[in-house]
Amino acid sequence: MRFIASLAALALLAACATAAPTSPSNNDAAPTGPSGSTSSSRQAQLLRAAGGADAPSLQDVERYFGQADIVRRDGAGTALTYRFENCALLMLFAADARNAMRLQEAHPSARRAGVAAPTLDQCAVEAAARRS
């Protein structure tokens, strides 16, 4: 129970840690990816596997997403926050039976106030664009 409470606290703290936009944009809509289609990038596959038996490790996520903008290690959990142009992505990790950190949850949020939160696929598109 304490672990779940810790993860919830990390989620709230990470949401507070996102920076305000430095310059206003004329287009407040989040990107939908190529032709609005669902992203099939490796980043999207990793995000969809969160919490499952085949959840990616912390090293897998860092390999495909790069270095996180914010890293927080708290007890038996780790939280990574990535900030993209229109999406902030919070990823929560917990140790598995072999003590490897595995992705348990991924939460996208908008970078600008008043804009709807993007989907995980939209964040994955931005992550893939940053890495290419």
Per-domain residue ranges of the chain = 2-16+38-131
Q: State whether residue 2 is helix, strand or coil.
A: helix
Residue 110 has pLDDT above 60, yes or no: yes
6 vs 34, higher pLDDT: 6
pLDDT score for 75 = 85
Q: In terms of Cα–Cα distance, which of 79, 63, 55, 29 is closest to 131?
A: 63
CB 69, CB 103: distance < 8 Å: no
- The average confidence (pLDDT) of the chain is 79
pLDDT score for 23 = 38
DSSP per position, 45-63: HHHHTTTSTTPPBHHHHHH
pLDDT score for 44 = 94
72-98: average pLDDT = 94
* Amino acid at residue number 55: A
d(CA 125, CA 81): 16
Residue 102 has pLDDT above 80, yes or no: yes
Residue 5 has pLDDT above 60, yes or no: no
Torsion of CA 92, 97, 98, 100, to 10 degrees: 0
Strand partners, 92: 79, 105
* pTM above threshold 0.85: no
99-105: average pLDDT = 95
pLDDT score for 78 = 97
